[in-house]
Amino acid sequence: MKSQTLLAIASLSALPAFAHDGHGLFGSHWHATDALGFVAVAGLIALAVWLSKK
């Protein structure tokens, strides 16, 4: 019971957190880490294409 209460408090403590606008490649500004997801997806697609040719 104690661990469930702590888990609920930890989960709910992040509710008021909001990121500023503009994240992503097409926002008002972006950080290098914002593009990391796009790079990972492109890498996975390239890997899938390369593995499918064998």
Residue ranges of domains in the chain: 21-54
pTM over 0.75: no
- What is the chain's mean pLDDT, rounded? 77
Whole-number Å distance between alpha carbons of 32 and 40: 13
- Helix intervals (H) in the chain: 2-12, 36-52
The pLDDT of 31-52, averaged and rounded, is 86
